[in-house]
Amino acid sequence: MVTSGAWEPQMEPLTEWQDQLEETTLGPTRRTSARYFGLVGFLVAVLGWGSYAYYVQVRDGLVVTGMRDRISWGIYITMFVFFIGISHAGTLISAILRVSNATWRTPITRMAEFITVVALSTGALFVIVDLGRPDRLGYVLVYGRWQSPIVWDVTAVATYLTASLIYLYLPMIPDLAFFRDRFAPRTSVWRHRLYRTLALDWAETEQQKASLRRAIGVMMILIIPIAVSVHTVVSWIFAMTLREAWNSTIFGFFFVAGAIYSGIATLIIVMAILRKAYHLEGYLTNRHFLYLGYLLAAMAAVMIYANISEYVTTGFKLEEGGEFLFRQLFVAEFAPYFWFYLIGGLFLPPIFMAVKRMRRIGTIVIAAVFVDLGMWVERYFIVVTGLRAPLLSYEPASYAPTWVEWSITAGGFALFALLITVFVKFFPIMAVWEMVEERKAMTAVLDESSATAGERS
């Protein structure tokens, strides 16, 4: 039995540990419980209702939403920015941990990397939803101008999604070959053909291993600037305007830091759910949650600094239009959202991690939930308050999402959860080959230490 100390120096024999790791990884693909079907059914139902709401929107037009001429963006763009942000859970975090050679990362990298692909795919759909007329998407490609930040954004997201798919796929090849070999006599023809095709004739030769390591090395270097650039470009859709709430040179840094922050929180939440659902306690240990909790607290400090820098400098000068923005955020219509974001989304995680008794998995997950809620709220009031600020001498516009918008939003979250649920049913949930290699390296170090100690004695 693998315990929570499986990564400590007192380790069980490698063969036994590897056999159990392989069985644990194969488990979700072999066994399907009634709860799994119930969850899938629920998510499909929510997604179906969201699809119906979208049909109503396409049929009747954007008049069924709360968006109007003065507030032309709303909850859809909020969802787009939020999902693009949490996509940084994978490629950026995973790449940084690979580059820094953080050995504790191996059980979590696969989860982080598929969160990226799923979040990007879901977030990109909300741009199409916000168009109202989905047939106009092609106009961006045919008539788009390179001077437009929207064209920059489409290019950046498409590049990021392509790079993320490659970065997810490359480290998965040896594990797909493992599935191909283990499932050969007992799975359906189409599934065996899928694993055989994706495994690319992997035979675990030294030449193949060397080529794979080089390819992963190249991608992990490339993916970091790509990930940073994509959310910077997303921020420029706002910052390239002259609107009071958005006209800021710090928006690129703000969005990238917020993306990493919400990405870490999402990774913690997904890890906790999969750990509980598939009994991964022996591999996703307290240490993994603790280290991610420290990262979460560190990024909270960065976000707190960025907020103080932004609001103190803007509030001190309080140029024309700034007073209205500050009033609606701090004391008026959006004050509940803003203070929840500050207290629950920013200050809570560092407090939790500063108190030793609260550094537990449950508490860290609670902090991560508050972070994601806070960051979603922040995206919402960034979008809406910026458009509410009057540009001429008229009354501020109001915006409230309709049932259509809320239904499509619920469908977006359901799609995100459904894609992850289906992924773990067909693909390896952990990077088995990387974990085995790391285990072998640790065993070799311990054997060498024992031999050296024996010679000295």
pLDDT digits (tens, 9 = 90+) for 3-32: 444 444 445 566 777 778 878 888 788 777
Q: How far apart are CA 383 and CA 151, in angstroms?
A: 19
The pTM assigned to this predicted structure is 0.89
pLDDT higher for 448 or 196? 196
CA dihedral 9, 14, 20, 21 (to 10 degrees): 70
Cα 296–chain centre separation = 13
- When pLDDT is averaged across residues 176-192 and rounded to a whole number, the result is 78
Q: How confident is the model at residue 408 (pLDDT cuts 50, 70, 90)?
A: very high
**Hey, what amino acid is at 71?**
I
pLDDT at 403 over 50: yes
pLDDT of residue 5: 40
Q: How confident is the model at residue 148 (pLDDT cuts 50, 70, 90)?
A: confident
- When pLDDT is averaged across residues 101-116 and rounded to a whole number, the result is 82
pLDDT of residue 6: 40
Q: Which letter does DSSP use for residue 430 in this model?
A: S
The whole-chain average pLDDT of the chain stands at: 85
Q: Is the Cβ–Cβ distance between 250 and 98 less than 8 Å?
A: no
Q: How far apart are CA 413 and CA 19, in angstroms?
A: 36
- When pLDDT is averaged across residues 252-273 and rounded to a whole number, the result is 91
Using a 10 angstrom Cβ sphere, with 0-12 exposed, 13-18 middle and 19 or more buried, the burial of residue 141 is: exposed
pLDDT of residue 9: 42
Coil, helix or strand for 318? coil
- When pLDDT is averaged across residues 396-418 and rounded to a whole number, the result is 93
**Residue with tokens 């030294």, as numbered in its chain:** 206
Q: How far apart are CA 187 and CA 324, in angstroms?
A: 63
pLDDT of residue 4: 40
Q: How far apart are CA 402 and CA 76, in angstroms?
A: 12
pLDDT of residue 444: 67
